[in-house]
Amino acid sequence: MNNSNDLNPKEKFLQKQQSYDITAEINSVSTMNSVVRLTRERWGMLLGLIGTFFLSLNCFYAKVILKSYPEDFDSVEFLFMRGLSIVLFGIIHTYYYHQKILSLSELPLRLWFLTRANANFFYNAFSISALWYLRASTVQILVLLSPLLVIVLSYFLLKEPLYIRYLFGGIMCVGGSMIIILNEHSAPSDDSEEDKKDNKNNSSDVGTYGVLLGLGLCIISVGFNAIINIASKILASHRVSLNNQMIYIGATNMMYSIIYII
């Protein structure tokens, strides 16, 4: 057997390369990838919580206007102004980051892009309509049941893993919502007598039918909200620009509102 001291520099280098344990490097890269993935998931959860906050604020604001000015409240005008504000934010985002506004023919993943834009309008239209019949807190809790549907759709459409803990979490959400649904009509109202006369949400002509109608509108909203989440995930995975998404979402809201008014 040759002594390593008797080897020339080239042979020593080859011997060192052969004895190099690549497992350590693989473990190092794997650990780094895990840290990056965990960091991205935490940022995603934080942004998701912020988005949920503003979504709830949107629902609460619509309910406040509905209760304060029930005769003057127009959900179509509300959706039009909401769409206009989204378009303006999209234009500001475009010019600030020096991006391009794409035409329909230039849009990547056109089907999912337009699906996301249309689903946004119908989700808001049905959820806001439900505010006429249910409390804002009830509507918001019910429409946020969409994660359970998103879990199932993500498994089939996005090929994402289906974890048991997700199913348990979804079942808990459904159980809590069922408690709210079963007690919705019997829950005491905190409105004054004058509000009960003026507000359609609490008037006697709504009754059980109104509650059931509101629940139906919420269920439809859940479906559209799930579609929004799936489409958004697909667009994000293909790095579709946010500015074009905002502009087309806002423009779609404005377009449907104008068609309804006409």
4 belongs to a structural domain: no
Radius of gyration of the chain (CA): 26
112 belongs to a structural domain: yes
Of the candidates 38, 42, 124, 14, the one whose C-alpha atom is nearest the C-alpha of residue 80 is: 124
Amino acid identity, position 155:
Y
Task: From first to last of the 262 residues of the chain, give the pLDDT tens digit.
Answer: 455 555 566 565 555 555 545 555 555 555 656 656 667 777 777 877 787 787 777 777 777 877 777 777 778 888 898 899 999 999 999 999 888 898 888 888 899 999 999 999 999 999 988 988 888 878 877 877 777 788 888 888 888 887 787 777 777 777 776 676 666 555 455 554 544 444 444 444 557 888 889 889 988 999 999 999 899 889 988 888 889 999 999 999 999 999 988 7
Q: E strands within 56-119?
A: none
Same domain? 51 vs 90:
no
Give the Cα separation of 142 and 212 in Å (integer). 13
Count the domains in the chain. 2
Same domain? 50 vs 95:
no
Give the Cα separation of 44 and 225 in Å (integer). 18
Q: What is the span of the domain harbouring residue 73?
A: 59-261
Cα–Cα separations (whole angstroms), residue 26 to 16, 22, 134, 209, 260:
18, 6, 56, 62, 59
172 belongs to a structural domain: yes
Three-class SS state of 212: helix
Q: Is the separation of the CB atoms in 179 and 156 below 8 Å? A: no
